[in-house]
Amino acid sequence: MPSPLDHVFDPPLVPGRLIRRDNRFIATIALDDGRRVKAHCTNTGSLMGVLTRSARVYLRPELPSKTRRTAFTWVLVRYRRHWIGIDTLLPNRLGYQATAANAIPEVRGYTQVRREVKYAERSRVDLFLTAPGRRDCYLEIKNCHLTATTLDEGIAGPRVGRRYRDIALFPDAVTDRGLRHLRDLANVVGQGHRGVLLVTIQRNDCDAFAAAAAIDPAYATALAEVAAQGVEIYAYACLVSPQRVRLARPLPVLLSPP
C-alpha cells in the first residue's frame, strides 16, 4: 500500500522530449513513440531553470473531455541528473493526502481536513484543518522548482557554499496572488488561528529554502514580515521519479538568506 507521503502516477506517465513552450499554458512535446503532441502546463510561472532545449520530460495522459484542449499534462522535466516536478496541482493533492493521514508532523492531530475553503474576500485556502480543542489551521500550499544555481544569468541569488548544495527559491516570477495569500495568513493569525505556508519543493538537490528576493522583492519582504507576525513557514523537499513523488524531508527556511 502506498505511503500517504507518496503520490503514485497511475496511469503511468508518458516519456518524451521538450520541443518548446508555446505559451504559459501549452508546450509542444515529441513523444518517444514518434508522435508530436501538445501538453497542458499547469505552472504559469516562468519555469526558469528547467526550459532547456530537448529536455527529457514526462506527461500525464488525461481523459478526453469537452473542456480539455490537450490529451496530456506536463508533469516532470529532467535537469542534469535530477527529475523536477512542475505540476502545480500535485502539491495540493499530496498535501491533502499527507495531512489527512497525519503524516506531516507540523500539522498533525487535526481530525477534519477540508479543501478550498473561502477565508478572505478574494481567497480560498488550500486546506482548512480543525479539531476539538485546537486552534483552526489555515494552510496554503506552494509549488517550488527553482534553485539558486538555476537562476537566469544576471539575476542575483543567495550564496551557495559549503553549507548548502543548493537553495530552493520561490517564486520564479512576480506573484501578486502569492503576496495576497501571505497577507491573508497573517490576518487569520491576528484573529487567533494558525496560518501555515507549506512550500513543496519538487526536487531533492537542495538543502534550504528562501524567497527569491531578486525576482519578487515584495514577496521576500512580506514572507519575513508575516513570519514575525506568527505565520508558520515549512518547506519540504521531494523525491521525484517517473513513478512517484514523495514528500521526503523538511528543509530550513532562510528568511535572511546567506
pLDDT tens digits for 210-240?
999 999 999 999 999 999 999 999 999 999 9
Q: What is the mean pLDDT of residues 58-80?
A: 91
What is the overall mean pLDDT for the chain? 94
Give domain limits for the chain. 6-85, 90-254
Handedness of CA 86, 252, 112, 245 (dihedral sign): positive
* Grid coordinates belonging to 85: 516536478
pLDDT at 45 over 90: no
Run of H or E residues at 226: helix 217-228
Provide the pLDDT for residue 50: 87
pLDDT at 254 over 80: yes
Name the band, by pLDDT with cuts 50, 70 and 90, for residue 159: confident
Q: What is the dihedral of CA 5, 232, 144, 95, to 10 degrees?
A: 30
Provide the pLDDT for residue 53: 82
Q: What is the CATH number of domain 90-254?
A: 3.40.1350.60
Q: Which CATH architecture has domain 6-85?
A: Beta Barrel (2.40)
Provide the pLDDT for residue 96: 97
d(CA 61, CA 67): 15
Provide the pLDDT for residue 163: 87
Q: What is the dihedral of CA 50, 56, 62, 64, to 10 degrees?
A: 100
| Identity of residue 142 | K
Name the band, by pLDDT with cuts 50, 70 and 90, for residue 256: confident
Express each pLDDT in 124-139 by its tens digit: 999 999 999 999 999 9
Provide the pLDDT for residue 112: 97
